[in-house]
Structure 1
Amino acid sequence: MVTPYGKLKLGWLLFIMIVLIVGCDQTTGPMDNTKKNNTDASLQRQQVQEDRDKMDDLIKIGFSMDTLAEERWLKDRALFKEAVKKLGAEVEIFASNGDDALQILQAETLIQNGIDLLVIVPHNAESTAMIVKKAHSAGIKVISYDRLVRNSEVDMYISFDNIMVGELQAKTIINEVPKGNYVYIGGPETDNNARLIKQGVFNILQPLIEKGDITIVYDQWTEDWLPKNAYANMEEALKANNNNIDAVIAANDATAGQAIDALAAQGLAGEIPVAGQDADLAATQRIIEGTQTMTVYKPIQKLADQAAEIAVKMAKGEEVGVESIVNNGKSEVPSLLLSPIGVDSENIDETIIADGFHSRDRVYQTTKK
């Protein structure tokens, strides 16, 4: 028989057991949540690490540019960056604004940042050989973009046939002026492309010079491609020859534009044929206006795409086959040389505009003013 005291004791025991059971049930929830939170955090850390590993696996291309002061180089930067991105790689870009020491410093920074390959548009064809040497010391290959780095063991050269650029300029101008006094406004002597373009021009002019049909009355380099220097050169040419000039060939559209401004100051713009190259928007507008005779169009979309494709392949250690070789004064450089296109008022629609390099509205907007 259970006494009242025994019933009370049994009741307390039952109460304590219930409390313990409920307590155990209550503690399983927080413990499970803790485990879940720990699992989630672990997964997050794992995902972050995987993302970092993917970033580390990305091919990193360094792009060291001379300048962004001219229209065409802004296009090159944008097109190259887009092309590299499409190939699943990334690119870091610096521009030195024509400062040799800064370009070397920027290239060193790119190397220190862990790039897999360096692409360079040299300001000075000679001094940038140091950049190639520094990159090679770090086990990094170098592509020379559009302009050749001289006296170096650069691994690849990708450009247009710049001798052909000069030949196209000269051929167009001698069709306009087969005889007369010619002015040549070159680029900077330190730019290998400027030398090649001039070589192409004189390949065509020299026979006519020797024949006596053409006289070069002024021939000068334009230091650093600066517009003010090109203007001063043309001004000096006009003054030295009492404005007795029949044709002008300029190394690019920026120098051609300054030559035309100097001619305009003498009331001669549109009277004297002028050649340029790069197909800058202002140059195409001058062609429509009639103050510039021609430009040389270099489809830089193709250049940027090819350079990006080769850069990524080389960075991965893949073989790149090219047929051309260019001597840079020290080594035989594997080279890819694309063909430029001479453009005048007759074919501007089917070349520059058809390619979307410039819109027809923008090219012809000068006629709407």
Structure 2
Amino acid sequence: MSKRRSYGLLALALLGLTLLSGCSWWQAFSGARPIGYQPIRIGLAMATLQEERWWRDREYLAERARQLGAELIVQNANNEQQEQYQQVEYLLSRGIDVLVIVPHDLNQAAAAVQLAKKAGIKVISYDRLIRNANLDLYISFDNIKVGELMAEYLVNRTPNGNYVIINGAPTDNNCYMFNQGYKNVLTNFIKDGRIRITFEAWADDWKPEIAYQYIQTLLSQKKPFNAVIAANDSLASAVIEALSEWRLAGKILVVGHDADLSGCQRIVEGTQLMTVYKPIRKLAYRAADLAVAMAGGKNYKTNHAPIFNGKHFVPSEIITPIPIDKENMDIIVRDGFHRKSEIYMNVPSHR
């Protein structure tokens, strides 16, 4: 056989392989995408952008999706459950390949999951668990540990006294997990009479003004308390605002979580005891990685045992939270979560 004929057959074979694989000749050698290529589309249905942390989730998810060559389509329900359902309908109409949902309501969001599953779309429950839904994945932080860390810091500083607990939204499954964490630590102290829960309530839709009003009412009624567990830094901010009006900021210990900039500032200023840092970039990047793998039909592994959501055992990916106080604030700076100059803005000697 002549060399020319051999080369011709080789070329035909290569061409056949590239045609069978749906690739162009050029892509086979250069990795370029074929004409008409559509990137994986990730639909992100967010419950809210009210808190600082959710801006970060959105931006990190978008950043990682771009790095992976995927497209992120974002919707924000502004804490309206019906709006979130309609936004999921919209995302499905856009031809998404996978749905990532931060549910507004832990129970009602199951209807949106069912809608997506009927359309053959896989669903990731992001940060907040959706109850009784046939989810493909749940990715979040160890939220029970978040609550334990908050309560541990308080009992280490104030092992005796009257505590106030302000939980977040009753529609958010995380709040029940945080609360379980608080009680895991506090129960023995309560049983032996060292700690008394003088007031416990919930803040609908995580509204800071509700937390503010709770504290104002307790103070005006002269109800004694010396420690407050606020379910996040936004609620802690409202608590401390109310305390400051009674000249009690820094005297009554307050803990929160999320490591919001304002929360970190209050810690170094001395009005908030601690916060819990949840590495959001790590969470968002991992969620994007898993979403792309899932949409592409690739195998993937999770780092945690399945979690039961009331009806199904859901594969789960769980990330460890980190307690932050004055002594280890450099963790926040090293991670690039906040700049040192911003954290210490009101503490000139530490800028």
Is TM > 0.5 for Structure 1 vs Structure 2?
A: yes
Structure (1/2) with the larger helix percentage? 1
Equivalent residue in structure 1 for 2:217, among 213, 228, 236: 236
Equivalent residue in structure 2 for 1:111, among 92, 96, 105: 92
Partners of 1:298 and 1:170 in 2: how far apart?
Answer: 16
Match of 1:206 in 2: 187
Q: Secondary structure at the match of 1:165?
A: helix
Partners of 1:359 and 1:216 in 2: how far apart?
Answer: 37
Amino acid at match of 2:36: D
Partners of 1:219 and 1:206 in 2: how far apart?
Answer: 14
The C-alpha deviation readout for 1:162-216, integer Å capped at 9, x for no partner, is 0000000000011110000000011011100111101101110011000100000
Match of 2:138 in 1: 157
Amino acid at match of 1:214: I
Partners of 1:293 and 1:129 in 2: how far apart?
Answer: 37
Partners of 1:311 and 1:238 in 2: how far apart?
Answer: 48
The C-alpha deviation readout for 1:138-164, integer Å capped at 9, x for no partner, is 000000010011111111000000000
Match of 2:128 in 1: 147
Deviation at 1:324, TM superposition (A): 1.8
1:287 and 2:267 aligned = yes
Q: Secondary structure at the match of 2:344?
A: helix
Q: Secondary structure at the match of 2:190?
A: helix
Report if the CA contact (8 A) 1:148-1:157 is conserved: yes
Equivalent residue in structure 2 for 1:194, among 146, 150, 175: 175
Deviation at 1:239, TM superposition (A): 3.5
Match of 1:218 in 2: 199
Q: Secondary structure at the match of 1:267?
A: coil
Partners of 1:236 and 1:123 in 2: how far apart?
Answer: 28
Equivalent residue in structure 2 for 1:314, among 285, 294, 305: 294
Is there any run of 5+ residues in structure 2 with no aligned partner, and where? 1-32
Equivalences, count: 316
Match of 1:76 in 2: 57
The C-alpha deviation readout for 1:12-44, integer Å capped at 9, x for no partner, is xxxxxxxxxxxxxxxxxxxxxxxxxxxxxxxxx
The C-alpha deviation readout for 1:306-361, integer Å capped at 9, x for no partner, is 00000000001112222321111111111011000000001111x11111100000
TM-score (norm. length: structure 1): 0.84
Deviation at 1:368, TM superposition (A): 3.3
Report if the CA contact (8 A) 1:183-1:237 is conserved: no
1:53 and 2:33 aligned = no
Q: Secondary structure at the match of 1:365?
A: coil
Q: Secondary structure at the match of 1:98?
A: coil
Decide which structure has the larger Cα Rg and report it.
1
Equivalent residue in structure 1 for 2:284, among 290, 304, 310: 304
Partners of 1:233 and 1:281 in 2: how far apart?
Answer: 24
Match of 1:246 in 2: 226
Partners of 2:158 and 2:144 in 1: how far apart?
Answer: 21
1:273 and 2:253 aligned = yes
The alignment-based identity, stated in percent, is 47
Match of 2:332 in 1: 352
The C-alpha deviation readout for 1:201-243, integer Å capped at 9, x for no partner, is 1110011000100000000010110111111122233344x15
Match of 2:235 in 1: 255
Deviation at 1:135, TM superposition (A): 0.2
Partners of 1:120 and 1:211 in 2: how far apart?
Answer: 42
Partners of 1:65 and 1:234 in 2: how far apart?
Answer: 30
CA RMSD of aligned residues (A): 1.3
Amino acid at match of 1:119: V
Amino acid at match of 1:128: A
Partners of 2:218 and 2:198 in 1: how far apart?
Answer: 8
Report if the CA contact (8 A) 1:185-1:234 is conserved: no
Q: Secondary structure at the match of 2:346?
A: helix
Partners of 1:355 and 1:91 in 2: how far apart?
Answer: 24
Partners of 1:219 and 1:116 in 2: how far apart?
Answer: 42
Match of 1:123 in 2: 104
